[in-house]
A and B are shown apart, each in its own frame.
Chain A
């Protein structure tokens, strides 16, 4: 997708002017928040599991080189081919080379954020391959020619009414417009024939398992299994941080992932892949290619952003973010939206083109609270602000207001004189009505909110008077 994070404010304005978007976001975030809370309450080992998960990830990241080598060795022993991609361009090249070598015409694809990150659609079109999205939500946004707006629910920005309308236009047999199960059936009828005839299947992986060389997909729709089984070639593109040492360790994350993501104890399908089809197997791909992608992850390893590599892509942070709930994922203008995206986007594509993202956050801390691997998202967003400040990326107006304020705040006597003058001026503006509806230089506030009339005299003035 085309990154538009540099136009964050325009994106926000567009999102706020779209009433249906708010309806869609409210419906889903409310549902997800309620369900998550319920299922976490019913999981007495949650705190312990979260702590264990954090420790496993931190350990794996401390020894990532070791586990990656171990994974490669074991995956090869299982019969897979392992590729390394330092950049999204490298990853696209590897994928399109494989498609060309197979003379592929069609590819079925299981949604994965890493696929979005490296631009998998571009890689396939470069190789002349027709792409068929098999995840229901991805199918919807492919039909609508939209980018995903959420990492778990890519079509979260659409109401089912809008989906019904879209299917009515694009499906031969669109189903009953009023009935969600019937819409799902319609998508199923549309997609089923395509599964069997694809030349290539493309998926991501939720976890890589070092000591077995296997990888895991976790879905609710079963589309991963249907996608990856019939075609001759299966390509997996995955970020290097998805590594865990062993199956036992993967189990800890599997218990956390769907609870945090959609508020269920487990998803419908959890599949462990252990290499291509073997002699005697009835089905499965003949060729299995695993593309391990870096894309700035090794830079993050040696940075204050390192804890971000613990992320298991559950989306809980965005489901609980007040800013995300107001504008949705497209406003962030990047592959990864919400709080985790506001950390990842600057890390992967640079702070310059995404300078609003770390700032457009109230630092309320709810994202950190609900994160199943305890990523200190607000702290990292603030550190990114400090990095911006140090590198002079702050507007002159903001810099000078801060300087002026700092000059006063470090001189108490002058500061108290200044606040008593401001207190008096605000009372003049309020004219005794208790509230102020317009304040020079504070238009952003008073356009939609009143400002209270201050009491007569600052606390310090009144306190001094009492003491005398």
Chain B
């Protein structure tokens, strides 16, 4: 399906998708190619540097950011299946190179061409998916994607094309789930209190599926729902859009 005239996309897989749920990565590749992009995954990538950035270790973050800049320089676009990591590159890398003119222009070029996958498919590629999913889903807007990148209407517009799927509103859809990267590790009790508020609202929707755009948040909510004994299918939106949500959801029992 590769169209050589289409945009040359470097895919940034994100550390959590890479190690926990590659399906999100492959679903993204499938849709990007279907939308007419030529996609490559540079192997010199690891993480966007957010754990160090949010811990206040700016020197380490800068070293990682330089690695990301170099790895993705050859591409026309950088696409990321996470609002949080896309926003790290797009909205926060600038803070690191404010006093470094040699790297600043390279950083600016990278930030300007970096997109969250759902908004890239909608806003840049004007893509219409064709997929089928039987169920009633509710949608959680992850914070960085929503507030830093304005990802709100795009996933809903894409999901409206999925046959068999109905989407019901979630009260507090724009409220944090308590994941917060290292926050959930450093303050597990606080994080638990916040995610408990979230799962209470998710359960109140009566939906059978929870969708979102960030594996970190999805892992947090799915993990809590699973511990509460709630059998709910939890997927990244891109898995549903790519017709790759037929396997077990996040935290669900394996079939094989």
Contact = CB atoms under 8 A, between A and B. Distances in A.
Interface residue tally on A, bucketed by range: 35 or more
B55 A402 contact: yes
Nearest to B20: A454
B176 A322 contact: yes
Contacts of B224: 448-449
B189 interface: yes
A464 B248 CA distance: 24
Interface in A409-426: 409-410, 412, 415-416, 419, 422-423
Given A323-B194, A366-B175, A410-B67, A450 B22 contact: no
A384 B44 CA distance: 31
Nearest to B185: A444
Given A452-B219, A458-B19, A406 B52 contact: yes
A224 to B, nearest CB: 34
B252 A322 contact: no
Contacts of A42: none
A432 interface: yes
Interface string B107-134: 0000000000000000000000000000
A422 B180 CA distance: 22
Contacts of B253: 433-435
A459 B219 contact: no
A456 to B, nearest CB: 9
B227 A454 contact: no
Contact of B64 (A409, A433, A454): A409
Contacts of B183: 359-363
Contact of B51 (A390, A402, A433): A402
A364 B176 contact: yes
A432 to B, nearest CB: 5
Given A449-B224, A452-B250, A422 B219 contact: no
Interface of B: 13, 15, 17-23, 25-26, 41, 43-47, 49, 51-58, 60, 63-64, 67, 143-144, 147-148, 174-176, 178-181, 183-195, 197, 219-220, 222-224, 226-227, 248, 250-254, 256
Q: Which 8 pairs between the two chains have the least Cβ-Cβ distance?
A: A362-B180, A444-B188, A385-B56, A449-B223, A389-B56, A364-B176, A459-B22, A364-B143
Given A448-B188, A449-B223, 16 more contacts: A12-B187, A327-B190, A366-B147, A389-B55, A398-B186, A410-B64, A412-B43, A412-B45, A422-B19, A434-B251, A444-B184, A445-B188, A445-B223, A449-B195, A455-B20, A462-B22
